[in-house]
A = this chain, B = another copy of it.
Amino acid sequence: MIARFFCGVFLVALALVSCARAAEPAAKKIEFAIAVHGGAGIEPDALSPDGRRARTRALGQALDVGRKILADGGAALDAVEQTIRLLEDDPLFNAGRGAVFNAAGGHELDATIMDGRTREGGGVAAVTTVKNPISLARLVMTETKHVLLIGHGAEQFADEMRDKRQIERVPNSYFSTDVRREQWRRKVEEEKAARGNKRASGAATMGTVGCVALDKQGNLAAGTSTGGLVNKRWGRVGDSAILGAGTYADNHSCAVSCTGTGELFIRNAVGFHIGALMAFKGMSLDEAVRQVIDEVLPDDSGGLIAVDAQGNISMRFNTEGMARAAADSRGRVEIMLGK
């Protein structure tokens, strides 16, 4: 009698579980997705609790700006630009205000943006008075036949774009912060002490920002913005100014934004590389990203964020940490600094 009762209960339970399973909808398609980074090389343990909180909050706010644009049906390109503008304005990151000091005690900024729909893109290097280099990079894409404008010439282009709402000009000192000035002072001392050692450590020099997005129309976009290396000289330009290296987007594969020792990312054409592993070898986004981060790039060289046309997001790095955040239409929201 008792055995029969338990058998009955078991069968009823089984039936209920089966019904619940049948009623469960298939995993919903991801309608939009976005990822943001605030630079690789950050060691979360080296930050104060306040420092960690401030970065987490800033990444969350930036993510939110882009997420809202995408949720409202806006373009991936707009989400990328507006998200990066917010990070450029935030003195915590090495882009726009808060950019590192170069060897001359000033700031030279690089940025790129790329549209996965058209595979057009634009970039600027070594600009000194443009508050939001990512917006100037977008105008290079839409208003010229070029993809890279540099230095004084890029400033002249900015002069000609002065009527555009998004191009605000500032004195170079606008980008300066006390924290970066102190970092520069320490770097100069460190380099004096290490004179003759050609290969300086890369980790201390990171802090680039970037964003990748998929919109409801199925378009991908990517953007990156940076102040480059602390105490850089000789007009050094890194991967954040170079399409195919620090920034890449193609609706047929993925959108990528990188951060790290830019020279390695240029030599390995990292952005294009990820897309090529997907398109030519049939790898998934995450397989391609793992391959490049784990096999192609040396340890401690940096990281990247990437999204594909299905809304899959991959965020990987081979440094101690990478400030990063991701969200999508299925309610995913995550913000992380360390491993």
Residues of A within 8 A of B (CB): 114, 119-121, 125-126, 143-154, 156-157, 198-200, 233-238, 242-245, 263, 266-269, 272-273, 276-277, 280-281
Contact = CB atoms under 8 A, between A and B. Distances in A.
Contact of A237 (B121, B148, B198): B148
A199 B244 contact: no
A105 B290 CA distance: 48
A266 B243 contact: yes
A149 B144 CA distance: 23
A130 to B, nearest CB: 13
A263 B150 contact: no
A151 B277 CA distance: 34
B145 A237 contact: no
Contact of A236 (B149, B152, B233, B266): B149
Contacts of A199: 145
Contacts of A114: 267
B235 A200 contact: no
Copies in the complex: 2
B243 A145 contact: no
Nearest to A118: B267
A235 B277 contact: no
B267 A145 contact: no
22 contacts: A120-B267, A145-B200, A147-B266, A148-B237, A148-B266, A149-B234, A149-B236, A149-B237, A150-B151, A150-B235, A150-B237, A151-B151, A151-B152, A154-B234, A156-B233, A156-B235, A244-B272, A268-B272, A272-B276, A273-B276, A276-B276, A277-B280
Contacts of A125: 150, 237
A231 to B, nearest CB: 12
Specify the main secondary structure of chain A where it touches its partner. mixed
A9 B181 CA distance: 95
Nearest to A278: B280
A253 B268 CA distance: 13
Counting chain B CB atoms within 10 Å of each CB, the highest count among A121, A144, A145, A237 belongs to: A237
A272 B277 CA distance: 12
B263 A244 contact: no
A280 B253 CA distance: 15
Nearest to A160: B234
Nearest to A245: B244
A114 B119 CA distance: 26
Contacts of A156: 233-235
Contact of A280 (B151, B245, B280): B280
Contacts of A154: 234-235
A295 to B, nearest CB: 12
A267 B147 contact: yes
A156 B232 CA distance: 13
B243 A267 contact: yes
